[in-house]
Structure 1
């Protein structure tokens, strides 16, 4: 097994792309918000929102200043994410269903995203970029040791003395 050494980065900087799509012909819905994806960045950036593209139908924004961090106690969740048919990143946002989603966390852990979802935060799943997949894969290969499955012992569901002879 290879060793990642002390210089392996456990932090990865990312930005989040969002979009506001104008809705026409709907009586009460005027706009619809979406999370387009997450992109890797290589320099540290302050948290900010920048308008990227404006058309008649859509406005796109770039949210900067997010950091993915790997934790050994999340290895099981990372492993299951990597082996899923479509590995995902999770963007956790503030705001209700009618407002702009304001990202405050990007995570690789389904367990962490589910906890935020249960606390009524808005959680969006997006495709994982290949660069982040390879980074997380190296970490999981180095540190993850699956627990061996334990065979459970069958319990007797009847009493031997009361069984018919």
Structure 2
């Protein structure tokens, strides 16, 4: 996947670096005991560069009795300077990846087909964490080396690790009781001791 950092896809939308992508979703029949509860399972299978020929509407790529693949074009992935740590965390993971947030489409609910529509795509661990905390459906897909290189250039320019603060040794901290009031320790003998 060729990625340019100053191509027309970036200038046309905003001043932020970004990419227009499309997501391929797969719907496959579930077999075995799980099929009692769920006849079909949706998963994203690929994130590809968006092309004008894709149009704007979702369209089927493959349809068989066991599997369907749908293309969902025109999703924007933008990089934000204040999320550079999230990109850095993705880059230092064993396999840098795309994070795809998807939902079952209520509008397409019918007896024949309910589409699982990608809502957002990100390269940030922070975005993925927020989505998962909100109990959304989020899947990971490996990022192409060109995308990883592009992301690395952005993170290198904008990510500043927080400086480590030197911890004050425990012996120099003020002594307090369990209520937070100043306490003192005495080494002198108290009455009644020999």
TM superposition score category, shorter chain reference: 0.7 to 0.9
Q: Which has the higher strand share?
A: 1
- Correspondence for 1:52: 61
Q: How many pairs were matched up? A: 158
| Residue 118 of structure 2: aligned partner | 103
How far apart are the structure 2 equivalents of 1:163 and 1:50?
81
Residues 164, 153 of structure 1: alpha-carbon distance in 2 compared, 3 angstrom cutoff = farther
Confirm or deny that 1:80 pairs with 2:97. Answer: no
User: Residues 44 and 27 (structure 1 numbering): CA distance in 2 closer, same or farther, change over 3 Å?
Assistant: closer
TM-score, L = length of structure 1 = 0.80
The answer to whether residue 166 in structure 2 is matched with residue 151 in structure 1 is yes
Which residues of structure 2 form unaligned runs of 5+?
11-16, 106-113, 176-182, 190-194
Q: CA deviation at 1:116?
A: 2.0
Tell me the residue number matched to 2:29.
22
Distance 2:163 2:68 in 1: 50
Larger radius of gyration: 2
TM normalised by structure 2 equals: 0.69
Between 1 and 2, higher relative CO (CA 8 Å, sep ≥ 6) is seen in 1
Query: Unaligned regions of 5+ residues in structure 1, if any?
Result: 1-5
Cα distance between partner residues in 2 of 1:17 and 1:163: 73
SS in 2 for 1:62: strand
Q: How far has the Cα of 1:121 moved from its partner?
A: 2.0
